[in-house]
Amino acid sequence: MSIGIVGLPNVGKSTLFNALTKSANALAANYPFATIEPNVGIVGVPDARLAQLATIHDSARILPAKVEFVDIAGLVKGASEGQGRGNQFLANIRETDAICQVIRVFNDPDVTHVDGDVAPERDIETINTELILADLQTIEKAVPRLQKEARTNKDRKAALDAAETASKILDGGTTLYASGMDLTDLRELHLLTAKPFLYAFNLDADELVDADLRARLSAIVAPAEAVFLDAKIESELVELPDDEALELLQSVGQDESGLSQLARVGFETLGLQTYLTAGPKETRAWTIKKGATAPEAAGVIHTDFQRGFIKAEVISFDDLMEAGSVAAARSAGKARIEGKDYIMRDGDVVEFRFNV
C-alpha cells in the first residue's frame, strides 16, 4: 500500500521527497527490496517496543514496519481538465491508497507562491477542488451506465444511489472522505476524494513550536490528521548520524522527526497495524490490515505459512516484557495458542506453527 504525495508548486514537495528517498536508501540496506523506483520514498514506522524485544533475544537486527510514499507530480489548477500533466497526475494518484497533501506555511520572500501569498486554507481548497472536479467527472461518466444496470438488476440500485449521493456532496465542495458518507457502494468507481487524506504542513522552524498555529491548521483539516514539519530540516536530518539528528531536532523544540511522524500517521491512515516476531536473527514488525486473522498475518511472512497454518503461539508484548523471556512467559501461562479465527491485536508477539 502506498500514500501519494501531492501539493502545489513551490511548497517544499521535492525537498521533503528528497528526504524520503534518502530514508528509503538507508532502509534498503536492511531489506531485500527489489529496486526502489525514483519516485518512491520509504520510511520506517517508529516503534520503541522493537528495541526492547530485540534485547530479550539478542537479535542481530531490527526491522520496523515501513510506509511507502509516492511522489505524484503535476497538481496545478486545472489538472482535472488536463492542464499541465493533469491526466498523468490523475492516473498516478488513482493507484495510491491514501493522499498526503503538502501545504506551504513557511514564509520566504525568495520562494514565490503560485497564487501570490502564503495561505494554507486557500491552497487546501485549491487542491480539494481539483480532486473533487475529477471525481465529479468520473461520476458523471458512470451514472448513465449505472442507471442502465439498475433498470435490469435491482442489486445495482445501491451503486447508483451512492453515486448520486456522492455527486451532491462533491457539488457542495466537500470531499467524500471528510463527508463521513458510507463509501462501500462507491468502491468500484475508485474516486480520489474517497481515499483517506492526511496533511503535511511545511512550517518555518520557529513555527514548529507555535501551538496556536498548529491547532488552527489541525482544525481546518479535521477529521484528517495533520503532521507538522520543516522540510528543509528534514532534508538535513536524514544526512546526520542519530545523535546529531536528535540534537538538531531538540534545537527546534521537537523530539521526533517529521518523517517519523509522517510514517506513524500514514500507517494509521492506511488502516494498518503490526504484529511482532523476534529471534536471534531479527526482531521484526510485520504489517497487516486492521482486523486480519492469524492465517492472514502468517501469509504476510510467506504464502506457505497461510496455506499450511496450524496455530499461532501469541504472547502480548507487555506480558513478555514483564516475564523477561519467552520461557518465563510460557510458565506463567501468558502464552496463548490461537487458531485460524483469531483476530490479531496490536503488540502480539507471535510464533506460527504450520505444515509445509
Residues that bind ligand GDP (CB under 6 A): 7, 9-15, 106, 108, 111, 202, 204, 230-232
Q: Which three cell numbers stand for residue 208?
A: 514548529
User: Is there a contact between 352 and 305 (Cβ–Cβ < 8 Å)?
Assistant: yes
Which residues make beta-bridge pairs with 3? 69, 98
Q: Is 14 annotated as a binding residue?
A: yes
Q: How far is the CB of 100 from ligand GDP (least distance, A)?
A: 13
115: helix, strand or coil: coil
Task: Give the residue from 280, 262, 252 showing the smallest Cα distance to 225.
Answer: 262
Residue placing its CB nearer to ligand GDP in the complex, 14 or 129: 14
Which residue lies nearer to ligand GDP by CB, 19 or 344? 19
Establish whether 252 is an annotated binding residue.
no
Helices (H), the chain: 13-28, 48-57, 86-94, 120-152, 157-171, 176-179, 211-221, 231-237, 242-251, 258-269, 294-301, 303-307, 317-323, 326-331
* 15 annotated among ligand-binding-site residues: yes
Residue ranges in 32-171 assigned as alpha helix (H): 48-57, 86-94, 120-152, 157-171
Q: Which is nearer to ligand GDP, 226 or 270 (CB)?
A: 226
325 annotated as a binding-site residue: no
CB of 207 to ligand GDP, least distance (A): 9
In angstroms, give the least distance from the CB of 71 to ligand GDP: 9
The answer to whether 312 and 302 have CB atoms below 8 angstroms apart is no
* Residue 21 labeled ligand binder: no
* Residue 67 annotated in ligand binding: no
d(CA 162, CA 178): 16
Which residue's CB comes closest to ligand GDP?
12
118/328 with CB nearer ligand GDP = 118
CB of 110 to ligand GDP, least distance (A): 7
Q: Which is nearer to ligand GDP, 189 or 200 (CB)?
A: 200
What residues form the annotated binding site for ATP?
10-15
What residues form the annotated binding site?
10-15
